[in-house]
Amino acid sequence: MNPDRRWKLLLIVVLLCFFINVSNSANASNSDVNEQETERKLSVFPILMYDSDIGLGLGCKCVIKNNFKNNESFDLILFGSTKGEQWFVFSFSIPDFEIRQGTRYSLALDLKLEYDKFLKSNFFGFGNNSKDNDWQFPKEFTKLELTLGHAFTERIIGEAGLFFNHTSVYTYKDINPEMTSNIPGAGENLTSYLTVRLRWDTRNSQIHPHKGWKIGLNSDFALKSPGSDYNFNRYQLEVNKYQKLFTSAHILAVRLLTQHIEGIAPYYEHSIFGGTWTGRGFKADRFIDKSMSLASIEYRYQFHKWIGSVFFIDSGRVYPSLQKLTLQNWHNSFGAGLRIYPGDFVVRFDIGISNEGTRLFFNFGHVF
């Protein structure tokens, strides 16, 4: 069967399963969540920004909550930039992830469909000592994520999901054939994997936590099956702590994370340090290898209901294996940022500084 037809057929099957589960999960939410039912809410944020990796961008983000009185939420992002990024995201949750936070529920469902195309993506080779370069090439991906969750208690949550990632990397081998000829991930590939997650979560909010812990164990099992091109396992441990310093307007947030890949995975599924979610003073995908450790600390000050500031330090490195873990030769970056709080999400602008320069980043949600 043609790979494109396989992908479309897979998408149709998963969407059918999704609609069946939506009708079931709407009735499965227990009274703890129903008691927190909110009024219908609409949050809209127009996007006009600049990012070092994607250029000048224009778009819009919209969140609708509880439109059908089932505590559901719809999230839509439409975005384009002068450096050629096209970013479209549709997300659906029932119950909404913020409404169900701190409650017991029998079943939650999350669906996310995302398309992202970069005309100027990066690759620097593998290893913690990879050299900086200016090689850039087009990359686009389409992701489909379907996750079911169950709260065993108000603090212990388990999740299982299916992820599909169709990625096309163009002119990849033409940039530097000697460097990229044997790198997995060039061309057109489909990766599918089963994810299993367990977390202990005492945060008072998922959107903007003021206090509590989140300790999460994630395992991804990619299966090389018809339509999927890779077979690997990925394991991650993340520990986050949020603490009020003086009042709820002053928050100290700390993150420790380690990740490891086993098997053969495309380079973009490896452990990555650098970019808007990890090392904010470095280019996106700056350091890539099998394993990674990182630590981040943020001081968040919300000086108005709708706006706040952040000062941060990110530090981390990658390794060829877990046996090579060390506290030496970590890459460090620091910076400051602006946070906007429209209501149902966080808008993030960050300036990161490292020994490789200064980077500007824009995205949604806290980094952790």
Cα–Cα distance for residue pair 85/62, rounded to 1 Å? 19
**Tens digits of per-residue pLDDT, 144-175?**
999 999 999 999 999 999 999 999 987 655 65
In this prediction, residue 134 carries a pLDDT of 87
Give mean pLDDT, residues 77-102.
Answer: 94
Question: Picking from 17-21, 64-68, 240-244, which range would have the lowest pLDDT averaged per residue?
Answer: 17-21
| Beta strands in 181-306, from DSSP E residues, in sequence order | 187-201, 212-222, 231-244, 250-264, 271-273, 287-289, 291-304
Dihedral angle sign, alpha carbons of residues 239, 201, 77, 270: positive
The DSSP bridge pattern shows strands 250-264 and 291-304 to be: antiparallel
Per-residue CA distances from 153 to 102, 104, 199 (Å): 9, 5, 11
pLDDT digits (tens, 9 = 90+) for 263-272: 999 999 999 9
* Residue carrying structure tokens 């939410």: 29
Contacts of 68 (CB under 8 A, 6+ apart): none
Question: Structure tokens of 219?
Answer: 């395992």
Is 93 within 8 Å of 66 (Cβ atoms)? no
Query: In whole angstroms, what is the distance from residue 345 CA to residue 366 CA?
Result: 9
Backbone angles phi and psi of 103, in degrees to 5: -125, 165
Return the amino acid letter for 362: F
What value, to the nearest 5°, has the Cα angle with vertex 314 and ends 207 and 266?
85
pLDDT beyond 80 at 97 = yes
Domains of the chain (ranges plus CATH)? 3-364 (2.40.160.50)
Residue 10, helix vs strand vs coil: helix
Mean pLDDT of 6-16: 43
Do 163 and 148 contact (CB within 8 A), yes or no? no
User: Phi-psi region for residue 102, left (φ > 0), alpha (ψ -120 to 50) or beta?
Assistant: left
Segment 291-314, tens digit of pLDDT? 999 999 999 999 998 999 999 999
